[in-house]
Chain A
Amino acid sequence: GDSVTQTEGQVALSEEDFLTIHCNYSASGYPALFWYVQYPGEGPQFLFRASRDKEKGSSRGFEATYDKGTTSFHLRKASVQESDSAVYYCALGNTGNYKYVFGAGTRLKVIA
């Protein structure tokens, strides 16, 4: 079945550091890929989506590029802020089964 793997369970950075959170997927067909962010005490919020190879999604300074060749959708941000501290989820949506598959999540802590 479809699956999403987030390599890092936790990431700790200082403000203005560069962020990379790795996301790799396994799916049949041509899935859409998503990033969601979850702040403490809240539900996940949609960050952005990409639905075709080489498409870049971006929002709030975060970006990721759909790479079908390496089956990846890594999240990057050039300069993180303390307010970016949250849990980030990579997700896959497949038209074949009308639902999402979420990764296990990566907890980002940014120290001022």
Chain B
Amino acid sequence: EAAVTQSPRNKVTVTGGNVTLSCRQTNSHNYMYWYRQDTGHGLRLIHYSYGAGNLQIGDVPDGYKATRTTQEDFFLLLELASPSQTSLYFCASSDEGLGYAEQFFGPGTRLTVL
């Protein structure tokens, strides 16, 4: 069965702080995604990747960087965190990225920026 793990599960930082969220998938999927989830907005795509070293910009990329170091690992970086980035973050993976494939989600990381 598909497995996507995220760490940490909870994170509290201060405004201006530096945060890295980690995601690992063991599905051998090519595509990985970072979303943020906020009440009233559903899930919004931040960045995605279709392989190691590749990065594509999503719909809400401002203030976020991402890096895909291997097929398994995808990181989300907040270099100067702001309170507006307080949210629940989900990582997902899929076998194909053509918009037709099922996505497998991790359990989420709750980030609070004070």
Q: Which residues of A are interface residues toward B (Cβ below 8 A)?
A: 9, 31-32, 34, 41-46, 49, 51, 89, 92-100, 102-105
Contact = CB atoms under 8 A, between A and B. Distances in A.
B42 A89 contact: yes
Contact of B43 (A42, A51, A98, A102): A102
Interface in B17-50: 33, 35, 40-45, 48, 50
20 contacts: A31-B99, A41-B107, A42-B107, A42-B108, A43-B90, A43-B92, A44-B43, A45-B105, A49-B100, A49-B102, A51-B100, A94-B99, A95-B99, A95-B100, A98-B48, A98-B56, A98-B97, A99-B97, A100-B99, A104-B41
* Interface size class of chain B, counting residues whose CB lies under 8 Å from the partner chain: 20 to 34
Given A44-B90, A46-B103, A102 B97 contact: no
A41 B109 CA distance: 10
Contacts of B4: 43
Contacts of B45: 99-100
Contact of B44 (A32, A45, A94, A102): A102
